[in-house]
Chains A and B, each alone.
Chain A
Amino acid sequence: MTEELLATSAAEIADAVRARRVTARSVTELALAQISATADSLNAFTLVSSDRARAEAAAVDAAVASGRDPGPLAGVPYGVKNLFDLAGFVTVAGSKINRTDPPATEDATCVERLRRAGAICLGALNMGEYAYDFITDNAHDGATHNPHDLARSAGGSSGGCGAAVAGGLVPIAVGTDTNGSIRVPSSFCGIWGLKPTYGRLSRAGSFPFVDSLDHIGPFARTVEDLVVAYDAMQGPDPRDHACAQRAIEPARPELENGLGDLRIGTLGGYFEKNCPPQARSAVAVVANCLGSAVGSRHIEIPQAGLARAAAFLITATESGSLHLERARTRAADFDPKIRDRYFAGALTPSAWYLHAQKFRAWFRSQMREIFRDVDVLIAPATPVPATLLGQETMSLEGVEMPVRPNLGIYTQPISFVGLPVVAAPVHTTGPQPIGVQLIAAPWREGALLRVARVLEQSGVCTAPIARLAA
């Protein structure tokens, strides 16, 4: 019975725990067993914090027993990308180099907030080294496998998150997204992902990648779960300089409000040209479902290609600078596939970086203009569904190109200016799922999540547990 419960949703688990139909402890034990059973096939978790999980479960069960409110995520197991601090453990951030660091002394802010909401932290999830990848093929911890097809990538750099949720190990995971690292795994693994507005969720207690572009966000198999996790993590935090001083704006209360007067449009130009058929179909299926809210609204963003170039420059230079001392002293210990990029990034002329920052201000004003006439934009999340592990090239409408840097072509220009995005899973356009981006103006996550809920209710966007892992 608990087995079926784990396969439902966080909301149902929390309900059952609060109503004493099941203990947090029993759900935890089941999740731990599932993680253990899939350790080799999926390689999603790099750290299983079973003692901590059991202690947290005991605390939740004690709260329930004594009539205290255990929180909206009572007894819900979750995992976090292994760049988040978990007290008592070393934060490896997918690297070998960090392994010699001392253990974290306190939890990351998002972990602490999820704990207060009653959720149970099962451990840390695999990622691409220092987040500079779209595949989660980690030189030190191995590749994470896609639960829908074990020969395929789970996407990156939050691949462990994608696999853990799509594989039914945990209903919720927390990852990060700088140029696409929540949206690409969501697309590849066919689950929901939320990259909120830049500055919405505190990044405190997470190992950085690109300070100008890093976001954190949740993954889930239902929109309601995504929202409950998102709401639980919201709130200002002085420990993250980029975290906005905004009051919590819960998305849960308005989730069932439907499309209302929302104006929705599909993105053309850069997001359509040479876009392969399955990605195009997924966008079409989503747009059709939203019907008259979309109508014929079709929008082109000026210079989206330059936005991607600028995001690339900012990424290369900030991460190169971040790792400069490591490059001086531990060069041999980097992932050899990624190392040269840090060196090159550190050596990139500053005039280029500054030009990219100026362009960012320009592009932000272009997007503000666009959002005067539309509320939500639809675009593909990835050009192709999950690629095979080890695959080096892919063909986009007859043009052969390397896989790794090009998985982010549609995600990068959007995160470049911190716009909130929901990655919506579409399982009906091919043998593998693929994601669609729902994009809004800054701070309008509520609108996005309402649209996501409509798509979920219609059956167009679903996130079933992968049959291979079930």
Chain B
Amino acid sequence: MVRSLLDDSGMPEINAPTIVAELNELHDCYERALAANDVPALTAFFWDSPHTVRYGVNEHLYGADAVASYRQASAPVFTERKLLRRAILVIGQDTASIMCELSQKIFGQLRHSRQSQVWVRFPGLGWKIVSAHVSNALTASPGSTAWDSYVDQTAAALGLRIDGAHRPGVVQSLQRTATIAAPLLAFSIPDDAELAPVFTP
């Protein structure tokens, strides 16, 4: 089938229906591979090139090899992953961007995640992801607690880096502290009660 790639003003066609459908299908395949932690499939979706880049929540991977190593080494940490909204943009026949918002639980904590991917169709290879970026929204989303963003903000203010894998434990620890502190904080003490031992200069 030969079709003109350009409209009358010279702009490439935006969102050609068959290609949008093709990419919908590919992205669904990608999600299925993620859910199954199908490492070879996940790796194959990415363009095997040193130009490929993937930013994860806590990692910055340059080159297809780095992405592949990361896949090998990481275990899936999400559950209850749901696609909230997907925006596919196809420009011409060989270039597309797929952006989506997801809801998932990571280490049991509800997260509002975002995934951005740039796909390119290469001759002989088909569609490949050339760059990708995954992040979690910081502001409160359904189910997330104030402690998640509190930990992020105050840790940053204190120059304290908290590894993604440890963050849930820290949040949990703070939640536990809050629960323990609650009845104590509700116990009222007069303003002139001694605050601390008297400092002698």
- On chain A, the residues within 8 Å of B77 by CB distance are none
A313:B195 contact, CB within 8 angstroms: no
- Shortest C-beta distance, B163 to chain A (Å), equals 7
Partner of A344, one of B170, B185, B194, B196: B170
Partner of B173, one of A331, A343, A354, A362: A343
Q: Interface residues of A: mostly helix, strand, loop or mixed?
A: helix
Distance in angstroms between the alpha carbons of A348 and B154 in the assembled complex: 9
- On chain A, the residues within 8 Å of B162 by CB distance are 331, 343
Query: What is the chain A residue whose CB lies nearest that of B200?
Result: A241
Contacts A344-B177, A346-B160; is A309 near B183 (CB within 8 Å)?
A: yes
A344:B180 contact, CB within 8 angstroms: no
- Shortest C-beta distance, A197 to chain B (Å), equals 15
Contacts A340-B173, A358-B193; is A347 near B184 (CB within 8 Å)?
A: no
Distance in angstroms between the alpha carbons of A346 and B150 in the assembled complex: 12
- B159 is an interface residue with CB less than 8 A from chain A: yes
B161:A328 contact, CB within 8 angstroms: yes
Partner of B187, one of A303, A327, A345, A347: A303
> Which positions 311-333 of chain A face chain B at CB distance < 8 Å?
312-313, 316, 324, 327-328, 331-332
- Interface size bracket, A side: 20 to 34
- B73 is an interface residue with CB less than 8 A from chain A: no
- Shortest C-beta distance, B140 to chain A (Å), equals 18
> Which positions 323-369 of chain A face chain B at CB distance < 8 Å?
324, 327-328, 331-332, 339-341, 343-348, 352, 354-359, 361-362
- B174 is an interface residue with CB less than 8 A from chain A: yes
A316:B166 contact, CB within 8 angstroms: no
- On chain A, the residues within 8 Å of B174 by CB distance are 344, 347-348
A348:B196 contact, CB within 8 angstroms: no
A357:B195 contact, CB within 8 angstroms: yes
B177:A316 contact, CB within 8 angstroms: yes
Query: What is the chain B residue whose CB lies nearest that of A316?
Result: B177
Query: What is the chain B residue whose CB lies nearest that of A361?
Result: B194
* 5 closest Cβ pairs, A-B complex: A344-B173, A340-B169, A361-B194, A309-B184, A343-B170
Besides A313-B184, A346-B160, A356-B181, 17 more A-B contacts (Cβ < 8 Å) are: A306-B184, A309-B180, A309-B181, A309-B183, A331-B161, A331-B162, A331-B166, A340-B166, A340-B173, A343-B166, A343-B170, A347-B154, A347-B174, A352-B177, A355-B189, A359-B187, A362-B193
A-B contact pairs, 6 of them (CB 8 A): A306-B187, A324-B158, A328-B159, A340-B170, A343-B160, A361-B193
